[in-house]
Amino acid sequence: MVQGIGGLTGETLFATLGQIVPLIIVVVIFILALEFALYNLLSKVFKLQNALAYTLLSPAAVAILVFMIYPLLFNVLLAFSDLKRDTFGCYSPVSVATCQLDHLYGLDYAIDNFTKVFFRIRDGQIVDWGRLLTTAGSTFPALLGRTVLWTFFNVIFHFSGGLALALILNQKIRLKGIYRSLIVIPWALPGVITFLTWKQEFHAQYGFVNILLGGFGIAPISWLDNPIYAFVAIVFVNVWLGIPFYMVMLLGGLQSISPEYYEAAQMDGAGAWQQFRFITMPLLRPILIPAVTLDVIWTFNKLDLIVVMTNGGPQEGTNILVSALYNAAFGTSATQRLGFASAFSIIIFVILFIFAIVWITTSGGLKEIYEK
């Protein structure tokens, strides 16, 4: 009997559900039993006052430990290794390849991995910028520059587009609810589906974008064949995708601003621009700062869109740091430089961490929260 050949048939679906549903039930019962036992332990044995709170927090704490802390620590450990395809034999418990390494983890590997992110070393000497992928343009400064550019354009357009839409939808207009629902659609759709759809829409011959441009007498553009056009295409799609997030956030903020401020300003003779500048923007600030922070981090780390639409090509010209990292570790290259990729990921983490600290501190966006 053959159980399946990869495709999702009804039979496969039911068989899978048949396996998963009982497993979920068992897991839920197991967790409830554990929670109950933990509560009894904390309240009756240790006689803790907040036993219920600790009990309810424990699943989340365990999940964070298992799915975030452990992978993070493991990633750091990998940065101290020389794990790549050629050394699989040393790290794999089942490999039969001969291990040429005299140790598996060490500071020397970490120094080598971190150095290679920036420089190309030959005979112990730095000879050039290191290539993170295969082309001469895949150096760290080039990728960082492109990532900053990518993040800048996206965040600017997300913010301005989202704010414009929020301001429009904050007015008294008919069918507001329908517009709001339509605008949120890009955010609600599964990413992979929208990316694949957009990829087709940017096709030189059959894509909607060129057909539309053709209507204005513009010759077809090979969007995904040219690094600059491809970059424009992915920025466009990510802007389209990110605007609803800002719109929802800012619309909520706008609706919470009391109309009395505007009425008072109007009585004082303030114009629309002055009202926007001195009332709307300052009062949106507590919402805007966390939104921009999150958007910068999400955009900086936006991997799925790039992998699906261009996979970093053509000529590796649409790679940003994270997609270059993904390709270095798991891409078409068979080298699987996991030690190097781990060091690379730590550097990206540090960059974002520093940005978040500096941005949040200097903007004072979370000041009110801290002061409370």
Partner 1 sequence: MKIKFVVLMVVALLALGSLSAVVAQDAMGPYTLVMWSQDGDTNNAVIAGLFEQWAAEFAPGSTLEIVQKETETLRNDLQTAGLAGSGLPDFFLGPNDAIGPLSDAGLLQPLDELFDMSMYPFNLGAAQIAGVTLGVPTNAGNHLMLMYNKSLVETAPDTWADLIAAANAVEEADPEIQGFAYNLNEPFWFLPFVHGFGGSTFDEEGNFSMDTEAWVNAYQFVHDLKFVEEVVPAECDYNCASDAFKAGTTAIILNGDWAIGEYLDTEVSPALGPDNLGVAPWPAYEDGNRPQPFTAGKFISIPVTTADAQLEGTVAFVTWLTTDAAAVEVHALGTGRLPAIAGIPVEDPILQASQAALETGVGMPANPALRCMWDSVRPNLEGVMSDALDAATAASESQISAELCLEG
Q: Is 365 in the site for partner 1 (CB under 8 A)?
A: no
Q: How far apart are CA 270 and CA 298, in angstroms?
A: 37
Instruction: Mark 309-348 with x for binding to partner 1 (rule: CB under 8 A) and - for no binding.
Output: ----xxxx-------------xxxxxxxx-----------
Q: Record the tokens describing residue 223, joined without a space.
A: 């969007």
User: At its nearest, how many Å lie between partner 1 and the CB of residue 155?
Assistant: 28
Q: Is 137 exposed, middle or buried (0-12, 13-18, 19+ CB in 10 A)?
A: middle
**Would you state the structure tokens that stand for residue 236, as one six-digit string?**
């466009």
User: Quick check: 135 binds partner 1 (CB under 8 A)?
Assistant: yes
* Distance of closest approach, residue 95 Cβ to partner 1, in angstroms: 4
Q: What x/- string results for residues 198 through 237 when contact with partner 1 is judged by CB under 8 A?
A: -----xxx--------------x-x-xxxx----------
**Measured between alpha carbons, how far is 81 from 83 in angstroms, rounded to an integer?**
5
Is 1 near partner 1 (CB under 8 A)? yes
Contacts of partner 1 in 241-300 (CB under 8 A): none
Among residues 237, 228, 246, which one has the least CA distance to residue 209?
Answer: 237
Tell which one of 43, 119, 120, 279 touches partner 1 (CB under 8 A). Answer: 120
Which stretch in 134-142, 144-152, 248-256, 285-293 sits in contact with partner 1 by CB under 8 A? 134-142
Q: How far apart are CA 328 and CA 273, in angstroms?
A: 49
Q: To 10 degrees, what angle do helices 338-363 and 70-79 make? A: 120
Of the candidates 16, 50, 95, 181, which one interacts with partner 1 according to CB under 8 A? 95
What is the phi/psi pair of residue 34, to 5°? Answer: -60, -45
**C-beta of 99: minimal distance to partner 1 in Å?**
9
CA atoms within 13 A on the CB side of 14: 3
The span from the CA of 90 to the CA of 338, in Å, is 13
Query: Using the rule CB under 8 A, which residue among 48, 58, 89, 129 binds partner 1?
Result: 89
5 to 24: interface string for partner 1, x by CB under 8 A:
xxx-----------------
What is the distance between the alpha carbons of residues 352 and 129, in angstroms, rounded to a whole number? Answer: 22
Instruction: Say how many residues touch partner 1, by CB under 8 A.
Output: 49
Applying CB under 8 A, which residues contact partner 1?
1-7, 83-86, 88-89, 91-98, 120, 122, 131, 133-136, 203-205, 220, 222, 224-227, 313-316, 330-337
